[in-house]
């Protein structure tokens, strides 16, 4: 059976490097499941692989969209499975990497047969968001489905709107809807998670934000002001800088907020990843050697 190696872990932990090193070692290709790295205008703020990194191994679903393009998890699932079929026609193994847990899960386990958005519900929820604020949506979802609320990206209004709409339509929590049986995959997934002490994760995040500023994140964000209301830009690193450009915050405070919100995002990723099945954890400072050793053991056990 073909094998998909899915690399998971928090933001800034070294997933990109491990994916590239494994892809080179195994002579295969990488598909990204980072939903923000799809957008070509957001290279610095999403820590998109550099041109040099992209040249080391073939990547898919990186800088393949513009911020004005609509793209859903369901569309991604279809496109990613099609790309995997193409890779598996030539290779026995493929690599998937990224920090967007729902997108990873859609490929590994499949999407549920959820209803399309209900126009009336969406209008009600948009009105709440515009007139009361995103906090009202957060409170509503927390009351309706505390389990999903604990792992959802709370700053992503589209995720909140979708979950509440599904709950209203089905009369079941979003968690219950997501746990319904799905189609089996025709490949085996090996999840490799990169682990590190929380203080190391936070230190790496802080350093990464500083590097993003050095590389020109301010100029990148300034060039996207006209598109600031797009869903793609409701993202840590951009929303804080828009408030700086508006004169609401000074630059030092905005940068500290980016670091703080990135650390919060990492905490949500940790919570999400702990609930996943069959994760093989490797240490952040020896990830390649431990991953190769793990893959060898798993390969031998299958013989």
pLDDT digit string, tens, across residues 48-81: 999 999 999 999 999 999 999 988 888 999 999 9
Strand, coil or helix: 184: coil
Q: Does domain 2-111+182-302 have CATH number 3.40.50.10490?
A: no
Q: Which of 61, 64, 73 is nearest to 41 (CA)?
A: 64
174 burial type by CB count under 10 A (0-12 exposed, 13-18 middle, 19+ buried): buried
Mean pLDDT of 163-175: 93
End-to-end CA distance of the chain: 12
Mean pLDDT of 224-241: 93
Q: Is 303 annotated as a binding residue?
A: no
pLDDT tens per residue across span 1-36: 899 999 999 999 999 999 999 999 999 999 999 999
In the chain, the largest separation of any two C-alpha atoms, in whole Å, equals 63
Per-residue pLDDT at 115 exceeds 90 = no
189 labeled binding residue: no
Give the residue among 201, 157, 190 at the shortest CA–CA distance from 277.
Answer: 190
* Mean pLDDT confidence for 148-173: 91
Class of domain 119-178: mainly alpha
User: Does 247 show up as a binding residue in the annotation?
Assistant: no
Is 13 assigned a ligand-binding role in the annotation?
Answer: yes
Share of the chain above pLDDT 70, in %: 99
Higher pLDDT, 114 or 125: 125
pLDDT of residue 228: 93
DSSP 285: G
- What's the pLDDT score for residue 11? 95
Task: Confirm or deny that 66 is annotated as ligand binding.
Answer: no
Half-sphere exposure (CA, 13 Å, Cβ side) for 50?
Answer: 5
Q: Is the predicted pLDDT of residue 179 greater than 90, yes or no?
A: no
pLDDT for position 290: 97
Residue 14 annotated as lining a ligand binding site: yes
Could you tell me the residue ranges of all domains in the chain?
A: 2-111+182-302, 119-178
List CB contacts of 97: < 8 A, sequence separation 6 or more.
Answer: 6, 7, 15, 16, 18, 19, 30, 31, 32, 33, 34
Q: Are 68 and 230 in contact (CB under 8 A)?
A: yes
Q: For residue range 245-276, list pLDDT tens digits in order.
A: 999 999 999 999 999 999 999 999 999 999 89
Q: What is the rounded distance in angstroms from the CA atom of residue 71 to the CA atom of residue 102?
A: 14
């Amino acid at each position: 059976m073909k094998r998909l190696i899915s690399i998971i872990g928090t933001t800034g932990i070294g997933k990109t490097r491990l994916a590239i090193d494994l892809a080179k070692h195994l002579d295969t290709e990488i598909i990204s499941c980072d939903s923000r790295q799809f957008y070509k205008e957001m290279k610095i703020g999403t820590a998109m692989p550099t041109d040099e990194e992209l040249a080391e191994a073939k990547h898919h679903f990186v800088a393949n969209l513009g911020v004005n393009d609509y793209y859903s998890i369901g569309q991604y699932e279809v496109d990613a499975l099609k790309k995997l079929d193409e890779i598996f026609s030539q290779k026995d193994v493929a690599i998937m990497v990224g920090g967007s847990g729902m997108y990873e899960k859609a490929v590994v386990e499949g999407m549920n047969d959820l209803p399309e958005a209900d126009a009336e519900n969406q209008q009600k929820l948009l009105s709440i968001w515009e007139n009361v604020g995103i906090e009202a949506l957060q409170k509503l979802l927390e009351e309706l489905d505390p389990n999903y609320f604990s792992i959802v990206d709370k700053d992503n209004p589209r995720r909140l709107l979708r979950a509440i709409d599904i709950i209203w339509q089905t009369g079941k929590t979003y968690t219950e809807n997501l746990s319904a049986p799905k189609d089996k995959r025709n490949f085996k997934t090996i999840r490799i998670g990169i682990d590190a002490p929380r203080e190391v994760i936070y230190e790496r995040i802080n350093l990464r934000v500083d590097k993003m500023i050095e590389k020109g994140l301010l100029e990148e964000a300034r060039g996207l002001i006209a598109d600031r209301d797009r869903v793609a830009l409701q993202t840590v690193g951009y929303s804080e800088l828009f408030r700086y450009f508006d004169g609401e915050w000074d630059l030092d405070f905005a940068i500290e907020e980016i670091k703080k919100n990135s650390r919060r995002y990492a905490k949500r990723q940790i919570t999400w990843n702990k609930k996943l099945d069959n994760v093989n954890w490797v240490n952040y400072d020896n990830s390649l050697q431990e991953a190769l050793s793990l893959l060898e053991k798993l390969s031998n056990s299958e013989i």
